[in-house]
Structure 1
Amino acid sequence: MSENTQPEQNQPLTGAPSPEELEAAQAANEFDALTQAQAELVTLQAKNTELADSYLRAKAETENARRRADDEIAKARKFALESFAESLLPVVDSLEAGLAHKDATPEQIREGADATLKQLKTTLERNKIVEINPASGSRFDPHQHQAISMVPAEQEANTVVSVLQKGYLISDRVLRPALVTVTAPK
Structure 2
Amino acid sequence: MNADDTKIEPTLDGAPGPADISPEESEAAAAANEADLAASLSELESLRNKNAELTEQYLRAQAEVQNTRRRADDEMAKARKFAVESFAESLLPVADSLEAGLAIKEGTPEQIREGAEATLRQLKSALERNKVLEINPAAGTKFDPHQHQAISMVPAPGQEANTVVAVLQKGYLIAERVLRPALVTVAAPQ
TM interval, shorter chain, is: 0.7 to 0.9
State the alpha-carbon separation in 2 of the partners of residues 84 and 130 from structure 1. 14
Q: CA deviation at 1:22?
A: 4.1
Which range moved further: 97-106 or 52-61?
Answer: 97-106
Match status 1:66 vs 2:61? no
Q: CA deviation at 1:78?
A: 4.1
Q: Which residue of 2 aligns with 1:14?
A: none
Residues matched between the structures, number: 175
Match of 1:36 among 29, 36, 39: 39
SS of 2:84's partner is: helix
Match of 1:9 among 4, 20, 23: 4
Match status 1:166 vs 2:186? no
State the alpha-carbon separation in 1 of the partners of residues 155 and 22 from structure 2. 114
Name the TM-score, length of structure 2 as normaliser.
Answer: 0.81
State the alpha-carbon separation in 2 of the partners of residues 47 and 152 from structure 1. 83
Structure 2 gaps of 5+ residues are 7-19
- Matching residue's letter, 1:140: F
Structure 1 gaps of 5+ residues are 1-6, 12-16
Percent identity of paired positions between Structure 1 and Structure 2: 68
State the alpha-carbon separation in 2 of the partners of residues 26 and 100 from structure 1. 110
Match status 1:102 vs 2:102? no
Question: Which ranges of 4 or more aligned residues in structure 1 deviate by more than 6 Å?
Answer: none
State the alpha-carbon separation in 1 of the partners of residues 32 and 180 from structure 2. 84
Match of 1:156 among 160, 166, 178: 160
Q: CA deviation at 1:98?
A: 0.9
- Matching residue's letter, 2:169: Q
Q: Which residue of 2 aligns with 1:3?
A: none
